[in-house]
Amino acid sequence: MARTDALTSDFLIIGAGLAGLYAALQAARYGSVCLLTKTSISETNSAWAQGGIAAAVDENDSPQLHREDTLRAGRGLCDERAVDVLVREGPECIKELERLGVAFDRTPSGYELGREGGHSRRRIVHAGGSSTGQRIVARLSALVLQNLNITLIEHAVVTELLTVEGCCVGARFLCDGREQLVRARTTILATGGAAALYHRTTNPPGTTGEGIALAYRAGAELADLEFIQFHPTALALPTARSFLISEAVRGEGAHLLNPDGERFMLKYDGRAELAPRDVIARAIFEEMRRFKTDHVFLSLRHLDPALVRSRFANIYETCLQYGLDLTRDLIPVAPAAHYTIGGVRTDLWAETTVPNLFAVGEVSCTGVHGANRLASNALLECLVFARRAVEAAVRHKVASASGQEVDGVRACSPANSQPSELSRVRQLMTQYVGLVRDRAGLEYALAELSRLEIASSGLLREQALVARLIAQSALFRAETRGVHIRSDFPNEDPSWQAHIIVQKDRPMRLEKQLQTESP
């Protein structure tokens, strides 16, 4: 049997993307921090973020306008209180990042602001053009490595959240072949989403939802898992990964063309290429179905080539690797799984329904995004709610659980996923739980995923669990809303303007209001 070592810390943070790094730096002001990441600190989903951070920092903008755009995109399912928190506290988080040394792109008159789909104003701040996530994560990572209050453990696979009388007191993890425990007053999940459960995804391979599984097994409520956002414009080449062509490209005036070379978005929405992501993804799907093809085209040929090369340098260079010149060629694109809107249910201070367990970033469901995330609100949500989580934890001043016996939750096996079996999960999710779904396909996927979950162990079991919960939620919601498209229920139904709540050993249920009472 593997030897078990025990560590203690005031704060345990699981995940080292933007939400985890920012939470670690905030928490280090108040005590010791143990930061776990299953990869290295440089291999996070946040580092792949190209678009930027949405915040009302311009004199021609306001939190109220940002609020209205967010609610409009969310198709009636945003929690208005959470949105109010996001847009009100967002600008201060941008200022704090600057104080931490993040250099946002500026002009002589202020921030160089971009505009993306669904936004009524230019309000997207960038750092290094299309390398925003990478720049911010690099800076925060450097600060974390310098901070003596933060202990970073890389390549740590968390297998279980530890609980005492229903309260979270830490976690069990595997690292270098050894099983270890971390006991902590506060545990913050920041593990990211689950979009890599699909074959075509803009996410790194490790984004497979294990944090959602950890919280579920510890008894936490999950919400809105059926809402998987598909980014409309991911590079679609047989020889290329699903590289993201940022929404900011359309914000600067790029056009979507069908195989006949016709610009088609205006017939679907008056905002054309600046419509929200769900509208554009659905329009692309319809054009692909009409022309019996697997992609449409993105055209920047009418834009200033110098602007394109400088503003989108990372995208430009990547396309060149595949023989495509962003300034001259039509770029083949198609929707790809991009963002997990649902996740671990939290209150307005990021606390889950398990006391002393918080969730921030893409693993969480704060209610900000509703049924369709507004572009570039994700990184802002990481910042705002990571800071709130730490503030709430400090206010709680939870007593240490050191020495107490933890509840008997079964630990996961350290066995790795078999590539062929994980490929089967991805095939099922892509074919039956993708952008467009129906009852027959969802029922088949649900049966197969349940079988895989029972027959598997280790990470594959957790991945199959999360995939099964997504499919189950998608089957339960008998309507089309936001990013959730049911071909057998093609319309939005007012009776389904509610959230689907999932909890271990309890029936799935609907709730009109997502937020629980906050401290």
Q: Are 36 and 210 in contact (CB under 8 A)?
A: no
pLDDT for the residue numbered 406: 55
CATH code, 93: 3.50.50.60
Q: Is 461 a member of any domain?
A: yes
Report the Cα–Cα distance between both ends of the chain, in Å, rounded.
42
Non-local CB neighbours of 48 within 8 Å, separated by 6+ positions: 133, 134, 202, 203, 204, 244
Nearest C-alpha neighbor of 144 from the set 12, 22, 29: 22
Other CB atoms within 10 Å distance of the CB of residue 396 = 15
Q: Are 134 and 44 in contact (CB under 8 A)?
A: no
Which residues form the domain of 446?
415-508
Whether residues 426 and 495 fall in one domain:
yes
Q: Is 374 a member of any domain?
A: yes
- Please list the active-site residues: 277
CATH code, 474: 1.20.58.100
pLDDT for the residue numbered 407: 54
Whether residues 165 and 25 fall in one domain:
yes
Q: Of 291, 311, 336, which marks where a domain is finished?
A: 336
Whether residues 446 and 371 fall in one domain:
no
CA 55/CA 491 separation, integer angstroms: 32
Q: What is the pTM of this model?
A: 0.92
pLDDT for the residue numbered 245: 92
- As to burial, measured by CB atoms within 10 angstroms (0-12 exposed, 13-18 middle, 19+ buried), residue 393 is buried
Q: Is 407 a member of any domain?
A: no
Q: Of 349, 366, 396, which marks where a domain is finished?
A: 396
Strands 222-223 and 296-299: unpaired
3-state secondary structure 322-339: CCCCCCCCCEEEEEEEEE
CA 438/CA 422 separation, integer angstroms: 23
Nearest C-alpha neighbor of 133 from the set 220, 203, 187: 203
Whether residues 67 and 199 fall in one domain:
yes
Q: Are 292 and 240 in contact (CB under 8 A)?
A: no
CA 47/CA 207 separation, integer angstroms: 13
CA 490/CA 509 separation, integer angstroms: 22
Token pair, residue 34, equals 């143990």
Q: Is 98 a member of any domain?
A: yes
Q: Is 410 a member of any domain?
A: no
- DSSP character for 275? S
Whether residues 324 and 351 fall in one domain:
no
Q: Of 336, 354, 382, which marks where a domain is finished?
A: 336
Whether residues 292 and 154 fall in one domain:
no
Strand partners, 223: 343, 501
Whether residues 76 and 57 fall in one domain:
yes
**Total number of residues shown for the chain:** 519
Whether residues 272 and 345 fall in one domain:
no
Whether residues 370 and 441 fall in one domain:
no
Strands 499-502 and 222-223: antiparallel
Q: Is 140 a member of any domain?
A: yes
Per-residue pLDDT of the chain (519 residues; tens, 9 = 90+): 345 568 999 999 999 999 999 999 999 999 999 999 998 887 665 555 566 899 999 999 999 999 999 999 999 999 999 999 999 999 999 999 999 999 999 999 899 998 888 999 999 999 886 678 888 999 999 999 999 999 999 999 999 999 999 999 999 999 988 999 999 999 999 999 999 999 999 998 889 999 999 999 999 999 999 999 999 999 999 888 888 898 889 989 999 999 999 999 999 999 999 998 899 999 999 999 999 999 999 999 999 999 999 889 889 999 999 999 999 999 999 999 999 999 999 999 999 999 999 999 999 999 999 999 999 999 999 999 999 999 999 998 654 444 455 554 444 444 455 556 789 999 999 999 999 999 999 999 999 999 999 999 888 999 999 999 999 999 999 999 999 999 999 999 999 999 999 999 999 999 998 875 444
CATH code, 291: 3.90.700.10
Position 216, amino acid: Y
pLDDT for the residue numbered 232: 94
CA distances from 312 to 50, 204, 341 (A): 9, 20, 26
Whether residues 385 and 470 fall in one domain:
no
Residue ranges of alpha helices (H) inside 223-345 are: 247-251, 277-291, 305-311, 313-321
CA 471/CA 474 separation, integer angstroms: 5
CA 242/CA 207 separation, integer angstroms: 14
Strand partners, 451: none
Whether residues 456 and 478 fall in one domain:
yes
CA distances from 106 to 52, 103, 117 (A): 13, 9, 21
Whether residues 327 and 476 fall in one domain:
no
Element (H, E) at 266: none
Q: Is 198 a member of any domain?
A: yes
Q: 264-269: long-range contacts (C-beta < 8 A, 24 or more apart)?
A: 264/296
Q: Is 392 a member of any domain?
A: yes
pLDDT for the residue numbered 501: 98
Backbone angles phi, psi at 243, to 5 degrees: -70, 135
Number of domains the chain is built from = 3
CA distances from 48 to 203, 338, 364 (A): 8, 11, 19
Q: Are 364 and 42 in contact (CB under 8 A)?
A: no
